[in-house]
Structure 1
Amino acid sequence: MNPLGRIDQVGIVVRDLDAAADGMRRVFGAEPHTRQENTYRRTIYRGDEIDASVGVMLYDLGGIELEFLAPRGSGNVWQDFLDERGEGLHHIRFAVDSHTAARDDLHSRGVETYQEGESMRGGGVRYAYYDTVPQLGFLIETLNPGGRA
């Protein structure tokens, strides 16, 4: 069994959500179904507890969620990526049955956790980003939509 489950989201880091919305409108004729400012409280970033803020814009493209992320402030997974690599593909997210099993599998492969915390969804739903940039050029994110550890 693959502990990473199925791909359900592609994340893109941008500097400007308005510019990204204009691009989506021109290229796909699409409007976001969600646009909001999120602050992830007490999230763990490279081993330290922080509050991490990001502007988020979401689109549904054929059953895959396209997420645009505009970091607010420094010292988080989104701003690090923007500073180091510029705008572009940030992560591919997998819906996992078990957050723990996915983490243990990735750690056994030498992939470290970059940032993790409680999802804005609440209810025990957690997210984690894993540092696969050296191997893949982007991060892997996991989310346990059922809220199971």
Structure 2
Amino acid sequence: MQNIFNHFDQVGIAVKDIEKTITLMNNIFTWKFSEIILFEPTAIYKEEEIAIKAKLAYCFVNGFKIELIEPISNKSIWQDYLAYKGDGFQHFMIDVDNFEEVKKILEANGGKIVQSGKALKFKGAYWTHFDFIDTLGLCLEIINCLEVGKRYLTEVSPKGNGLFENLIKVGISTEFCEPTTDKNTWQKYFNNTDKKIHYLLFEVDQFELAKEKLEKNNIPIVQDGLSKEYKKWGYFDATKLLGYYIALLSR
């Protein structure tokens, strides 16, 4: 059976202050974000048609597209997420070629449509957020550009560079990192935030240099060890600054 969810497009991070977050990410990771875009669509928010407003910025890192979202209007799923969980990973976006089939699958698994709107640059396409906050810790955003014969790509595509370019994994603490002992970063994070994206994992050539840079930016190492392949790994606590951990794995 063909996997209809294999066109992964982006991870969306809701933030309270997009300018501050861009500066911080540039200082830590040397990531280059696009200019901030003002997003002002008419959308359906919890069955109500409203005008929403948000600031957006994008960055591409090793094939991952990262979208920062600072909501401006009072009513939006991004504002809801910030109020409920604070800064953090609010959604994954997937481009699909059969929206109705995907909708049936997501709704059958507990997903509820909480916000939707027309894709401004793609006639006939639309984006839809399905709420999986209580089960996955985030929303799934579905866009159907493939269904109308397009491929969703952001026009601006600045790229990261340096130590933190090789982003290889986004870890979800409930589904993929279920803690079984009491004393570890996963259990601490789960106790504090319930279900939420737990970390970004980078594979690095220079572990100690990356560690030094994180610690200089007030992101201390809180858990470390060796993998089965004797590769060094470490978790760094960026929860107060970014809302999640940074994980490093030596190459």
Q: Same fold (TM over 0.5)?
A: yes
Question: Which range moves more in the overlay, 12-21 or 30-39?
Answer: 30-39
- Which blocks of at least 5 consecutive residues in structure 1 are unaligned? none
- Counterpart of 1:133? 133
Aligned-residue offset at 1:34 = 4.3
Q: Which amino acid aligns with 2:81?
A: F
Task: State whether residues 122 and 145 of structure 2, in contact with CA within 8 Å, keep that contact through their aligned partners in structure 1.
Answer: no
- The 3-state SS of whatever aligns with 2:52 is strand
Does 1:47 pair with 2:47?
Answer: yes
- Which blocks of at least 5 consecutive residues in structure 2 are unaligned? 150-251
| Deviation sequence 1:19-61 (CA, Å, 0-9, x none) | 11112211221221342010111x1111111111110010011
Distance 1:71 1:134, change over 3 A: same
- The 3-state SS of whatever aligns with 1:67 is strand
In 2: Cα distance, 1:51 partner to 1:96 partner: 25
Task: State whether residues 58 and 67 of structure 1, in contact with CA within 8 Å, keep that contact through their aligned partners in structure 2.
Answer: yes
Q: Which amino acid aligns with 2:7?
A: R
Matches for 1:1-149 after TM superposition, within 5 Å: 1-41=2-42, 43-148=43-148
- The 3-state SS of whatever aligns with 1:21 is helix
Identity within the alignment, %: 24
Task: State whether residues 96 and 147 of structure 2, in contact with CA within 8 Å, keep that contact through their aligned partners in structure 1.
Answer: no
- TM-score normalised by length of structure 1: 0.91
Question: Which range moves more in the overlay, 92-101 or 67-76?
Answer: 92-101
Instruction: Using CA pairs under 8 Å that are at least 6 residues apart, name the structure with larger relative contact order, 1 or 2.
Output: 1
> Deviation above 3 Å: which 4+ runs of structure 1?
none
Q: Which amino acid aligns with 2:132?
A: T
Q: Which amino acid aligns with 1:62?
A: N
Aligned-residue offset at 1:102 = 1.4
The answer to which structure has the higher strand fraction is 1
- TM-score normalised by length of structure 2: 0.56
Number of aligned pairs? Answer: 148
In 2: Cα distance, 1:92 partner to 1:52 partner: 20
Question: Which range moves more in the overlay, 100-109 or 13-22?
Answer: 100-109
Task: State whether residues 37 and 53 of structure 1, in contact with CA within 8 Å, keep that contact through their aligned partners in structure 2.
Answer: yes
- Counterpart of 2:231? none
In 2: Cα distance, 1:77 partner to 1:127 partner: 13
Q: Which amino acid aligns with 2:126?
A: R
Distance 1:114 1:131, change over 3 A: same
Task: State whether residues 94 and 142 of structure 1, in contact with CA within 8 Å, keep that contact through their aligned partners in structure 2.
Answer: yes
In 2: Cα distance, 1:5 partner to 1:104 partner: 17
Task: State whether residues 40 and 119 of structure 1, in contact with CA within 8 Å, keep that contact through their aligned partners in structure 2.
Answer: no
Aligned-residue offset at 1:103 = 1.2
In 1: Cα distance, 2:28 partner to 2:119 partner: 30
Aligned-residue offset at 1:105 = 1.4
Aligned-residue offset at 1:3 = 3.1
Question: Which range moves more in the overlay, 93-102 or 76-85?
Answer: 93-102
In 2: Cα distance, 1:63 partner to 1:18 partner: 23
| Deviation sequence 1:56-102 (CA, Å, 0-9, x none) | 01001111210000001211111011111111110111111122221
